[in-house]
Structures are given as structure tokens and as C-alpha cells.
Structure 1
Amino acid sequence: MAISSSLSLSWVSTTIPDKFQLTLPNHNNELPRATTTAYFSSKNITCSAEPASIDESHCKRRPLLLGVGALTTSLLQATSLFAEEIPEKYRAFVDKVDGYSYYYPYDWRDFEFRAHDSAFKDRYMQLHNVRVRFLPTNKTDIHELGPMEEVVSDLVRYKLASPNQYATIFGMQERNIDGKNYYTVEYGLQTPNFATNSFATVAIGNGRFYTLIVVANERRWKRYRNQLKVVADSFRMLDI
């Protein structure tokens, strides 16, 4: 990754924290070395009354923060985790222990979300949030689960939707970045009382099935969709 010579950061310690947030200047929002296949459709799914089995034992660890100051050799190590520079008005969350990273809007704050490893939310709109969780798996690639359309439909129906929610899939996308495969789905969930729209990105690596979900109120989706798509597309698995 190319690093601007004008960039400067200072560290809260002399070592790189295992989980940290980082802000870099924006030069290019393109995703390098990536191949993308997109499928757009509208698929309604009536969810099963049988709830999905979810391991609730994994707890989120709070990240450490980086400040602004002088450039050091450690910066080269930290920024090398990214295939591209952070877009304007976003920050990066990097988890070197659990092997993943992603961007989130710069004014969001971290919070606890049950059974998730990390989570950030809008300060004022509570339904605006992003969270990441992972479960152990003996698979090595998302392709081993089956065709994208089948995997995504099962994911939305049995994992992401509650028994009382009506789900609609608006589109799905497959990407290969640095030899790692990712599925991203755009979907809506509706109950008699409220409705949300979301992106979910899933991938398998490091013996883990990773899921990133970024969500907003349905009424605000049109306005914030592009912002949240950046978050969904930014998810990366790191080698650990």
C-alpha cells in the first residue's frame, strides 16, 4: 500500500495495539486487486418460525484509540493491513487478534452488542449501526458453503431474520480481494411495528465464519445507503 509522506500519527504506546481505530487521508476510494460480480433482484422470504442456533458466548473487546502526531516506523506496519487508504469521513477498525478490519463513519461511537466482537453506532440514530461477529468453522472458503444465491438466501432467512420478521433480498454481490472471497447482500426486514434495511458481508478465513452487518431505519435508507455500502464493502479478513 502506498502511504502519503504528509501523513503523521502518534501512538498511545510504543507497540501497536491488537485492536485499534485509525484515520488516514483520502486519496482513492477504489478497491484494488478485486474482482466483483453483482446480482440484483427482489426476493421475498417468509421466515421460518424455528429460530437459528447462535453461539452467544463470544464477547466484544473494546478497541484502543490512536492519536495525531509524528510518523513512526510502527505506522508502516499498521497501515500495511489495508489494501487502500481510508475514505474521507471514515475511520478504520483493525483487529489483528481476530483477523479482520473494516471502516465506519468517523462520528460513530463504539458500543456493546451481545455476542458480537465489535460494534459502532450513530450517536443520534440508534438503528444506524455496524457490528461484526464470527463463529468457528472447519471450512476454508465461503464457496465451500455453496452457490452465492443459496448461501445468501439461507443466511437472511435462518440467521439474520427473527421468526416474526418478513425478509426481502434486494441484491447480492460476490467479490474476490487478494485471493479471499466475500459475499455481500442487501436486504430488508419488516415487522408490524418497524422496518430496517441492511447490508451483510460474510466470509470464511482463519477457521472462522465472519459476518459484518450495517443497518439503518428503512425510512432513512435511501439517504444513507451509499454511506453504509462503503462500510459493507470495506470488510477484510487479515491473516493471523
Structure 2
Amino acid sequence: MESLVMTTTSAPMVRAGAVVFRTPNVLQVPESGSRGNFGFRSGLRVRAEKAGDGGAEKNVGVGKAISRRDLFAGLFVVATGLPFVQNSPTASATTSFRQYKDRFDGYSFKYPEGWIQVRGAGADVFFRDPVNLDENVVVEFSSPSSSRYKSVEDLGTPEEAAQRALKQYLTEFMSTRLGVRREADIVSSKSRIGPDGRLYYDVEVNVKSYANTNQLAVMPQDRVAKLEWSRRYLSAIGVENSRLYELRLQAPERVLMEEESDLRQMMESFQLQKIEE
């Protein structure tokens, strides 16, 4: 497992293939904001079209799954008037998803029905959980006028792409507060063929923030570092239309343990489409 710690305040350039991206300062809330791993600057922005008739969003989710056992148990409760406690895991509610499709820029993905879109966040599109603001998803892509990607393999291997992401996170989430340090570890990196037949890289990185309890203390032993937060960043990276695209999910580690299946479904739903010129 690769691990890096960064405490400097430089803003390096990130080189992907023959294109150099500078990391912009986006979102004045780095504690919960998201920005692409490769410092993407989106091209022209237009109002995205959403899948479905008349540009409406398409609900692709399902409601509750009730087993036959629970159905008969419920009928028994109605007949007898006894209280019913539902413990079956098969009867738990599943997340409903909507599909977001940007035909102009050539990508689509699913997101939870209850999430809201945040405009003016700096990314091409940004959705977040209205309750847990640290849980969000963004999509970014390289400028079509300055990039000529042919494949995601132009980034190197999945491991090399993960290293690039790790360094970018440490730069992006660098803090100017005294006694604060950020650490990052590569959780996983792999390639896969998506439902659309394209090659994608999936990269996961954990980022932690530590802060000293008494930074002004004279003795080092009095400056105890405590964990402020720990987050997982899941990225799906692909190439189409000579552009490098990235969908990036952010979730606190404690939330990931509860919603990992939903988050991975979102990541794997990311698909690219050829733009008709």
C-alpha cells in the first residue's frame, strides 16, 4: 500500500500524457468539496439534458423488496392484531437512483434519488447528499481543445494513475492551519471493461486529516495529534471524444461501511458516449 504525507504549500502541475493540468482552487470548503484528480478544467458548459421523455430525469430505482415469508407474517399480524417486528434483511429498503445524462459532453451516471445538484461548484456537474454534505459526486473532463487522449492507458497503468491521484489529493486538501497534516493511502487500483465496452480505471484513495490538540504547547509531547476526519475517494476514469473523463465520489469512511454497495453502483454506472459533431 502506497502512502504519502505532504505538509508543503506548493501547487505542482500534474502531467497526464502530453497535457499539463494546473490544479485550480475550487470550492472554498475543502473539508467537503471535491475536485478532479488530474486538475481538469471543463470545456464549454451548457445545461445538460437528462434522460427520459422531455428531458426529465429517469427513475431507475426500485422500492422495497418484500419476501413471501414477510408477506404471510404481515397477514398473520392483521388477522391476530399482534405487533410485528421486521428483522429479515431481505425486506430492507433499496436505494432508488436517477440517471443523469449529459448528451452535449458525452457521459452519464446514476445518483441517489434524494441527492441534490449544486450549481457553481466548479465541476461540470456536482451532486451531494443534503443530509451528509461530506458525501458527494462530481464529474470533470479535460478541455477538448487541448487534449488528444486515445485511451485511458495514456495515463499509464492503473497503479500509476492511482499514484497521480494520491499526490493530487494531498495537494488539493493541504491545510494552512497550524498543527494540521493530511495523509493519503492507495486502497485499490484496477482496470475494467464497462457495460459500454470501454476500458475504465477504478481508483480508491483514503485521505485522513490530523490536528494537534495544543499546537502552541512548548513541549512536543503536549502536542497530541488527533484524527479529524477520514474519507474515501472513489474514481472512475475513462477516455472518449479525445478527452479524459473522471467521476469522483467522496464519502466518510464510516458512511462507506454502510453504503458501499450504493457507492460502487454509482461508480460502475459511469459511461461515456461519442459526441455527434
Q: TM-score, normalised to structure 1's length?
A: 0.68
2-structure distance, mates of 1:138, 1:201: 19
Structure 1 residue ranges without an equivalent (≥5): 1-41, 80-84
Asked whether 1:107 is paired with 2:111, we answer: no
Deviation of 1:61 (Å): 4.8
Q: Which residue of 2 aligns with 1:232?
A: 267
Secondary structure in 1 aligned to 2:267? helix
Asked whether 1:220 is paired with 2:262, we answer: no
Q: Which residue of 2 aligns with 1:173?
A: 190
Contact 2:51 2:99 in 1 (8 A): no
1-structure distance, mates of 2:153, 2:246: 15
Q: Which residue of 1 aligns with 2:231?
A: 196
1-structure distance, mates of 2:261, 2:109: 16
Q: Which residue of 1 aligns with 2:167?
A: 157
Contact 1:130 1:215 in 2 (8 A): yes
Q: 1:179 to 1:47 in 2, by over 3 A?
A: farther
Q: TM-score, normalised to structure 2's length?
A: 0.59
Larger Rg: 2
1-structure distance, mates of 2:11, 2:174: 6
Contact 2:50 2:99 in 1 (8 A): no
Asked whether 1:144 is paired with 2:161, we answer: no
Q: 1:212 to 1:124 in 2, by over 3 A?
A: same
Secondary structure in 2 aligned to 1:191? strand
* 1:1-240 matches, cutoff 5 A: 42-47=1-6, 49=8, 50-52=10-12, 53-54=22-23, 58=42, 61-63=46-48, 86-88=60-62, 89-112=96-119, 114-136=121-143, 137-158=147-168, 161-164=172-175, 165-177=182-194, 178-192=196-210, 193-240=228-275
2-structure distance, mates of 1:146, 1:64: 33
1-structure distance, mates of 2:266, 2:45: 19
Q: 1:65 to 1:205 in 2, by over 3 A?
A: closer
Structure 2 residue ranges without an equivalent (≥5): 13-21, 27-40, 63-95, 176-181, 211-227
